[in-house]
Every structure is written in C-alpha cells, then in structure tokens.
Amino acid sequence: MFMATAVDLGRELIRRRISLAYGGGNIGLQGAVASTVFTNGGLVRGFIPGYIATRRVYGPTYGVEHTVSCNYYKYFEMNHAVEAFIVLPGGVDTMEGLFSLISWASEGLHNRPIGLLNIDGYFNNLIKFLDDAVRQNFVSLSQRKLFISSFFVDELLDKLEFAKAFPGPGVLIIDKHNLFKSRSKCYNDKHEDLKCHSLKYSRSHSLGRNPKFMATAVDLGRELIRRRISLAYGGGNVGLQGAVASIVFTNGGLVRGFIPGYIATRRVYGPTYGVEHTVSCNYYKYFEMNHAVEAFIVLPGGVDTMEGLFSLISWASEGLHNIPIGLMNIDGNFNNLIKFLDDAVRQNFVYLSQRKLFISSFFVDELLEKLEFAKAFPGPGSFPSLFGMVLEVGLAKGLLTHRWDVLPIAGWVVSQKPMVFALTTA
C-alpha cells in the first residue's frame, strides 16, 4: 500500500502540474514519487549533499541534481522552490525532519503548511502522542495546527491548497532518505538573518498538567544526588529540566547549563543553575556538551524535545556517539510514541538496531540502572565511527579535512566518572 500510494501521489502531482523537489536518489517512497513525476514529464529537482551524490549511496537522482555542501544546508538551498511539505511514512530521519519543520514554523522561520500522508494509519500513534502532549501543555495548540494529515492523496493536496500552499509550483517530499540535521537558526554567521528574534516561552519548558511529572522530576534530581551524578542540561530554571537542575544544585551537586547566547542574554527561560556555558546555537549545544556527558535522559516534553530525541537516535545510528538514551516514561507519557516506533520497525522503516538505541522506564531508579548497564556494556557495533565523526563534525563546522587532531572529536568519547546525564527537554 505504501508504494502504491507513493505512485498515486506522483500521478496526482502531474495531474495538478505541481513540480517536485526532493532529497535525491532513486530509492524509498520519495524515489517512487520522483520516478513517477519525472517519467511523466514533470519538473523534478533533487537536492543532495555532494559527498553522498559522488558515492551514489541512494542511486542516481531524477531530474536536475543540485549538490549542496552538506545535509545541514540543504534546507536553505531548497527553500526557494518549496511551498509545501509532504511527509511520507519513514523512520528516524523522517521524524527528525518533521519535528524540525514544526519547530521552525512555530518560531516563524517558515509559513509553509506541513502535510502527513497517513497511509494505512501509519502516523496514528504519533498523532495520538502529539494530541496527548497538547492536553498536557507540552505542545501548544498553535503548534499542533502547523501540520495536517490525511489518509488520501487528493484530500491531502486539497487541504494543502486550501492552506494557500500553492501560489506557485513546488512541493518538498521528506521521507527516510531526506535528512535534516540541524535547526535553521544554527548554521553560521552568514545565516544570522534567519535567527528567530521574537523568542517566547516554549511549551517544551512546561511542567505539564499531570502532577506526577513534577514529582518524578524532583525524584530524579534527588536520585542523581544520591548516586553522586553531576548534571548537564539546557539552561534556565523553567520546566521539568529546571526542576531537576534546581534539586541537584540546591543539594550541592555539580550542574552545568548549556544555552545559546542569544537566548541567555534575553533570559527567556530564567537564570541558569550552576555554571552557564553559552554556545552558538541549539544544534551545537550537543557538540559542546558531549565531552561531559555519558548518558541522555529524555523527560516528557514537546516539539523541541522530540527533535532532540530523534537527532540523538539518528546520530547514534550513524556512529556519531555511543551514549545511551533513556526515556523517562512518566505515567506512560511516551507509550504512543513507542508504539509508533515499534510499528515502524515492523514496517521496515526503522531498523531494530535503531530501536535498541534508546531504553525506557516508568521509574527513576530502574532507568538509571538501565543506563548504567548500557554504558558499561554498549554491545557490538555501538562504538562511534571516527570517520563518521570527522565527516559530520567537519562538515558542520565548514572544515574539509581528514586531520582528526584539528576537530573536537574527543567531545564524543565517553568521559571519566563521575557519570553525567544530559536532560534533553530544552
């Protein structure tokens, strides 16, 4: 059904005379859409990083191929031709791209509608998870309205057209092989104009409506103190991560907050507990934190939390880190998300090895014990790929070099005890 619907989408784009921009190559569902549009005379453009294009990892690209420096800059290169986003069923990279798009839209970085082609109910559990997040005040209703969904191709395109998606031709297809690696505010100085200067309180920093969330955050802080585990977090004093940081700091624990400078100077999220480290942007926060981090704990949160989670899983699956990731599944908050990912494994959009990259628990002590075990016994194939680090870090920083000594790859190596946990609700 997935392939048949992808072909139907390509045919409908041809019928409506809508051109296509996609992530290049000839595989996956987006490859099927691109093939249908191209072979029927439609305009197709594929945007793909040069180092992937030269190796033909995803096969030849249909239509005109635009090579870009890296995945991070692909969004900027494609954006002039894009007036709507369609998200096809996919895995970790698809989810990272989806939540990045929602985050960017909520920050005013684009106003293009986002459509989920919910083939055979593939996204049902994900939508349930996000609807629960709205009820818990982690996702705002305005964020929830930033994407629409439909089971049917024609209905989805009608909805996107109603949202004034098509003043001119152009659709961006995102699926398993169309990767987005970074927040658009995080690229470098030449993209300073894309920063969001109207920052507001994020629902990712909400405490949630369920009192168990706050109580468990306090318990987590106390357990970190009891185990003499220091804390790195996203800065500020709000939300669940702020509650954890407050407990650790006021009880004499070591706390470090990593926060983008443009946020820190405006105190959007309040003062930071412990030592504050300002970084250039949210994306590079992980690079700066990793030298001190030996595990990640994901607390209940919203769009930014999910973007961070799927980025971490994506990086781990590419060998960029071997740091265990734990979901603090308070009162079953992540149940629908886990169901969605388990379904994605069964549908072959997520590898079983990727699914095993994160663990979850309803209880603080059990989660910490699982993370300790995972840190001690990461299992085969989980050690970082140094080549992958050099490639990705070098591209991210604009370096084209193989000299490992000039790159901060040591930041990805597991540090010495005491064990440090990073909270990813920022």
Nearest to 333 by CA among 352, 308, 360: 360
* Helix (H) or strand (E) run with residue 323 in it: none
Q: Which candidate, 300, 263, 257, places its Cα nearest to that of 281? A: 263
How does the average pLDDT of the chain come out, rounded? 78
Residues 6 or more apart whose Cβ sits within 8 Å of residue 170: 18, 19, 20, 21, 81, 82, 83, 84
* The domain over range 2-194 is classified in CATH as 3.40.50.450: yes
| Encoded amino acid at 358, one letter | F
What per-residue confidence (pLDDT) applies to 308? Answer: 85
As a whole number, mean pLDDT of residues 84-95 equals 92
Would you place residue 175 in the very low, low, confident or very high pLDDT band (cuts 50, 70, 90)? low
- Confidence category of residue 386, pLDDT binned at 50, 70, 90: very low
Separation between Cα atoms, residue 346 and residue 352, nearest integer Å? 9
| Burial class for 195, CB neighbours closer than 10 Å (0-12, 13-18, 19+) | middle
Structure token pair of residue 195: 């920063």
Task: Please tell me the predicted confidence (pLDDT) of residue 389.
Answer: 38
Residue 377's pLDDT is what? Answer: 62
Q: Which helix (H) or strand (E) holds 328?
A: strand 325-328
CATH class of segment(s) 203-423: alpha beta
CA distance 357 to 313: 6
Please tell me the distance from the alpha carbon of residue 1 to that of residue 16, in angstroms, as a whole number: 22
Question: Residue 45's closest CA among 79, 20, 25?
Answer: 20
SS3 of residue 237 by DSSP: coil
pLDDT at 423: 54
In the chain, CATH 3.40.50.450 sits at 2-194, 203-423
The residue behind tokens 């921009």 is: 21
- Neighbouring C-alpha atoms within 13 Å toward the C-beta of 377: 3
- Nearest Cα to 272, choosing from 187, 205, 220, 208? 205
What is the distance between the alpha carbons of residues 147 and 318, in angstroms, rounded to a whole number? 28
The CA R_g of the chain, rounded to the nearest whole Å, is 21
- Please name which of 209, 233, 210, 211 lies closest in space to residue 221, comparing C-alpha atoms: 233
Q: What is the DSSP string of 268-298?
A: TT-PPSSEEEEES-HHHHHHHHGGG-SEEEE
**In the block, residue with structure tokens 């607390």:** 299
Q: What is the pLDDT of residue 46?
A: 92
> What is the structure's pLDDT at 315?
82
- Residues facing residue 420 across a β-bridge: 230
* Range scoring the smallest mean pLDDT among 106-110, 280-284, 326-330: 280-284
Which pLDDT tens digit goes with each residue over 374-385? Answer: 876 665 444 433
pLDDT at 75 over 90: no
Kindly state the percentage of the chain with pLDDT values over 90.
Answer: 44
